[in-house]
Structure 1
Amino acid sequence: MEQKKKESILMKDGVSYLVPFILITSCFALWGFANDITNPMVKAFSKIFRMSSTDGALVQVAFYGGYFAMAFPAAIFIRRFSYKAGVLLGLGLYAFGAFLFYPAKMMGEYYPFLLAYFILTCGLSFLETSSNPYILSMGTEETATRRLNLAQSFNPMGSLLGMYVAMNFIQAKLNPLDTTGRANLSASEFEAIKEYDLSVLINPYLIIGLVILTIFFVILFTKMPKNSEKDNKINFMPTLRRIFRMPHYREGVFTQFFYVGAQIMCWTFIIQYGTRILMQEGMAEIDAEVTSQKFNIIAMVLFCCSRFICTFILRFFNAGQLLMILAIAGGCFTAGVIALHNIWGLYCLVAVSACMSLMFPTIYGIALRGLGDDAKFGAAGLIMAILGGSVLPPLQASIIDMHTVFGMPSTNASFILPFICFVVIAIYGYRTKLRSIGKLFG
């Protein structure tokens, strides 16, 4: 019995996947770092270049647009070659995009940074399209969702490091002049402060580029088992038609779009939400921004702890049922974010992260269940759904720029968008539960 349990986790057909699991799981932390050092940059770029929240949110458009653009090319690439090749190409693009921050800073313009983010996340798209199904394949299908949740538990550790670096090595070191003061600067004063702030901003990206190169060479020279033979004949459209006929997959892609949108909105605009509340209580703008990022870090710690707890609970509950419960709880906390105009609203926003902890890998695992080798293309569709992080945050930013909506602060009203997302997720969880019951009694 003990041997059977061991094989069901990281062994399949007598092949051990322990070393590949460790190496690929490290990639989960690496893209978590990229995601969460970037979220606070919406506010940072808005200040540095004296832009609106909507213009600043173009960072998220470029960032998550890269995921969308490269998802199916990544799937075709790994179908033709291997998961390892996809991971290596992803790491290479990640490092290249990070190094592009230096010429972007030398140009002193906003749009070269967007290009650097786009290339960086083209790499992340290859990484995620390769790594998620690779983890799913490292054992039996019955334990695939649990295994992916375990690997994904290391993603928020990278996210925490990204938030910490953003707070202590970017936000806290930017020129303390507030938004109003920057608006009144002369052209020469503005350029001097912008030059300094951009020098501060790029340093962590250059360092992470070096780290990524190191991981690239470690994986390059490590022997990793292949999960399938190379497939030079790629039936792209027939495969897509086949997998999109499956309701659990089709609905999973739709739901993942809204989940990623909710996650990015809650973690990006906690800065704007917290800054407004803390300034209302008498705090200076720069201090309010740094303190809001501390709340964001607390949210990520809660997210990380909840991920491990929920991964354990998932052993005893139907995945769809647990997903539905967490989505309902997330919707309730988001209602508090909208209705409460004081520090309690910020507490509710932090609590939302506990509810989101299990959602991405659970939706992913449910959607890919039973796809077999088609999971390579199925994974690409789910990675393309990360486009939700590109589409929905600018919509929320445009609401925030209204200042007031129906008599309430626009930052509060803007969280109606994450609320809608949680409703969609709850419906998917409920439908998954019904399908599981139908199979049980069918």
Structure 2
Amino acid sequence: MALSPMINSDSIARPVKDTDGNRYVAALIITVCLFFLWGMANNLNDILIAQFRKAFALSDFGTSFVQQVFYFGYFLVAIPAAAVMRRYGYKAAIVLGLTLYGCGALLFYPAAMVGVYQLFLLALFVIACGLAFLETSANPLMTELGDPRSAARRLNWAQAANPLGAITGILVGRNFILSGIEHDERSLATMAPAARDAFYRAEVQAVVLPYVAIAVVVLLFAVAAALVQFPRGNAENDGPDVPSGRFTDVFRRPRLMFAVVAQFFYVGAQVGLWSYTIRYAQENAGMGERGGADALFVSLILFAAGRFLGTALMSRLAPVMLLAIFSAFSVALAAIAGTVGGTIGLYALVVSSLFMSIQFPTIFALGVEGLGPLRKAGSSLIVMAIIGGAALTALMGWVSDRASITHAMLVPAACFAAVFFFALYARGSSVRAH
């Protein structure tokens, strides 16, 4: 999905660099690395779906629990994360988030030793709780640094590290988790029980080394963040247009509420589309799991390219207009993937990632625009909307099991349509405001 110096946003009424010089360069570096780290975690899930489907002989709906528990963690922790930020500042939220992330990754070791799918789901839930702290911290911060009119563009630039992390996650998964060994039901049935058990055990334990390595790196970042100096703030005074910071005030902001809905559908579309790209490639193009992973890798390359291209275009075209254009292309391409199928459908599915690139941060920036001291509360609601990744991925798995993985792609097509209508609404509300 995917996001500046680590500053308590309570204190930001002007860019940090104007008064503090290079004082917070270390915090800036750590924050950019955070975008990379959570991008890697998010897209390793796409590899895990293919791996667990094979290792535990799951249906498509059964594999969707990987994303269901992951994004349920985001949903549960978003508001507590905002509360921690408000009370203790961004530094505490980041250290806690990294610690949870690292501990969740370490849980992959006992889960693999026991060989129980549900323990892997618990580990993913803990990782997601940590990521909720990290994303709730970084996204609103970038919208507050500098000129509010360029917030969407600034947030897109900051998120450039996110697709790089996603690409790294796919490469790690393809080369260190996916074995390339694929047995159909008939060949498994003819195997000796001991050989079949050994196959399943090897596929389950393939996830251990990458996740333990990730845990070590993430926990080292937690130590570094604890030692780095961060700005401290006082009262929330970053906006003259909101008289109070009560959480319930956010529900009186229609654009924010529409942004929450749009983000729910966008994240559902992105997560579901990437989660089942490998399955789609296997069913529609006759590819193996590693070939499907290569298709997903190309998708993420295009996603990263789209992020840079889209952010550059924002200097010439209003972010809300770019969101409308990109979401319209996404609708068309997902619809082709869901109706045409075959190699053409796979191409459409892969290219759709180019146009997904700017949607998350642009929806976010448009949603919190003008919230002033309500920015933290508003951002926590938008982060909660990430639950769409759980709900809609499950829906796609259900459709796939009952129809086909091809027709399941009509779900993200409908989701992108919701984003398109939000862009039209946001453009209209901007015109009325002026």
Give the TM-score taking structure 2 as reference length: 0.91
Deviation at 1:181, TM superposition (A): 2.7
Q: CA RMSD in A?
A: 2.2
Q: Aligned with 1:105: secondary structure?
A: helix
Aligned residue identity for 1:353: S
* Count of matched residue positions in the alignment of Structure 1 and Structure 2: 415
Aligned residue number for residue 252 of structure 1:
259
Aligned residue identity for 2:219: L
Aligned residue identity for 1:348: A
Q: Kindly tell me: are residues 355 and 8 of structure 1, through their superposed partners in 2, closer, same or farther at Cα, counting changes over 3 Å? A: farther
Deviation at 1:238, TM superposition (A): 7.6
Aligned residue number for residue 192 of structure 1:
198
Tell me if the contact between 1:182 and 1:190 (Cα under 8 Å) persists in the aligned partners. yes
Aligned residue number for residue 396 of structure 1:
396
Deviation at 1:227, TM superposition (A): 4.4
Aligned residue number for residue 413 of structure 2:
419
1:60 pairs, out of 45, 61, 67, with 67
Supply the distance in 2 between the matched residues of 1:228 and 1:383 (Cα, whole angstroms): 24
Aligned residue number for residue 3 of structure 1:
none
Deviation at 1:188, TM superposition (A): 3.5
Deviation at 1:189, TM superposition (A): 3.3
User: Relative to structure 2, which stretch is displaced further, 199-208 or 151-160?
Assistant: 199-208
Aligned pairs for 1:58-97 (under 5 A) are 58-97=65-104
Aligned pairs for 1:13-412 (under 5 A) are 14-16=19-21, 18-171=25-178, 173=179, 175-182=181-188, 185=191, 187-229=193-235, 239-279=246-286, 288-402=288-402, 404=403, 410-412=404-406
Supply the distance in 1 between the matched residues of 2:347 and 2:233 (Cα, whole angstroms): 45
Q: Aligned with 1:39: secondary structure?
A: helix
Percent identity between the two aligned chains: 34
Deviation at 1:194, TM superposition (A): 1.9
Tell me if the contact between 2:113 and 2:205 (Cα under 8 Å) persists in the aligned partners. no
Deviation at 1:175, TM superposition (A): 4.1
Deviation at 1:136, TM superposition (A): 2.4
Supply the distance in 2 between the matched residues of 1:341 and 1:74 (Cα, whole angstroms): 41
Tell me if the contact between 1:258 and 1:421 (Cα under 8 Å) persists in the aligned partners. yes
Q: Aligned with 2:369: secondary structure?
A: coil
Q: Aligned with 2:332: secondary structure?
A: helix
Supply the distance in 1 between the matched residues of 2:153 and 2:189 (Cα, whole angstroms): 51
Supply the distance in 1 between the matched residues of 2:89 and 2:245 (Cα, whole angstroms): 21
Supply the distance in 2 between the matched residues of 1:210 and 1:228 (Cα, whole angstroms): 34
Tell me if the contact between 1:80 and 1:230 (Cα under 8 Å) persists in the aligned partners. no
Q: Aligned with 2:215: secondary structure?
A: helix
Tell me if the contact between 1:320 and 1:428 (Cα under 8 Å) persists in the aligned partners. no
Deviation at 1:108, TM superposition (A): 1.2
Structure 1: which 5+ runs fail to align? 1-6, 232-236, 405-409
Aligned residue identity for 1:68: F
Supply the distance in 1 between the matched residues of 2:159 and 2:43 (Cα, whole angstroms): 15
Supply the distance in 1 between the matched residues of 2:148 and 2:33 (Cα, whole angstroms): 22
Aligned residue identity for 1:295: A
Supply the distance in 2 between the matched residues of 1:167 and 1:179 (Cα, whole angstroms): 23
Q: Kindly tell me: are residues 243 and 13 of structure 1, through their superposed partners in 2, closer, same or farther at Cα, counting changes over 3 Å? A: farther
Supply the distance in 2 between the matched residues of 1:9 and 1:166 (Cα, whole angstroms): 42
Cα distance per residue 1:374-394 (max 9 Å; x no partner): 211211111110000011111
Aligned residue identity for 2:415: C
Aligned residue identity for 2:165: G
Supply the distance in 2 between the matched residues of 1:148 and 1:360 (Cα, whole angstroms): 10
Aligned residue identity for 1:307: R
1:429 aligns with 2:434: no
Aligned residue identity for 2:433: K
Supply the distance in 1 between the matched residues of 2:33 and 2:74 (Cα, whole angstroms): 19
Q: Aligned with 1:62: secondary structure?
A: helix
Q: Kindly tell me: are residues 276 and 223 of structure 1, through their superposed partners in 2, closer, same or farther at Cα, counting changes over 3 Å? A: same
Cα distance per residue 1:11-38 (max 9 Å; x no partner): 4662445543332121011000000111
Deviation at 1:244, TM superposition (A): 1.4
Give the TM-score taking structure 1 as reference length: 0.89
Structure 2: which 5+ runs fail to align? 1-11, 238-243
Q: Aligned with 2:206: secondary structure?
A: helix
Q: Aligned with 1:421: secondary structure?
A: helix
Tell me if the contact between 1:50 and 1:182 (Cα under 8 Å) persists in the aligned partners. no
Tell me if the contact between 2:67 and 2:390 (Cα under 8 Å) persists in the aligned partners. yes
Aligned residue identity for 1:428: F
Tell me if the contact between 2:262 and 2:363 (Cα under 8 Å) persists in the aligned partners. yes
Deviation at 1:166, TM superposition (A): 0.8
Q: Aligned with 2:317: secondary structure?
A: coil
Deviation at 1:179, TM superposition (A): 4.8
Supply the distance in 1 between the matched residues of 2:83 and 2:264 (Cα, whole angstroms): 21
Cα distance per residue 1:103-124 (max 9 Å; x no partner): 1111111101100000111000
Tell me if the contact between 1:101 and 1:202 (Cα under 8 Å) persists in the aligned partners. yes
Aligned residue number for residue 6 of structure 2:
none
Q: Aligned with 1:51: secondary structure?
A: coil
Aligned residue identity for 1:346: L
Tell me if the contact between 1:243 and 1:374 (Cα under 8 Å) persists in the aligned partners. yes
Supply the distance in 2 between the matched residues of 1:215 and 1:200 (Cα, whole angstroms): 25
Aligned residue identity for 1:387: I
Tell me if the contact between 1:12 and 1:138 (Cα under 8 Å) persists in the aligned partners. no
Q: Aligned with 1:14: secondary structure?
A: helix
Deviation at 1:8, TM superposition (A): 11
Aligned residue identity for 2:317: F
Tell me if the contact between 2:81 and 2:136 (Cα under 8 Å) persists in the aligned partners. yes
Q: Kindly tell me: are residues 230 and 255 of structure 1, through their superposed partners in 2, closer, same or farther at Cα, counting changes over 3 Å? A: closer
Q: Aligned with 2:229: secondary structure?
A: coil
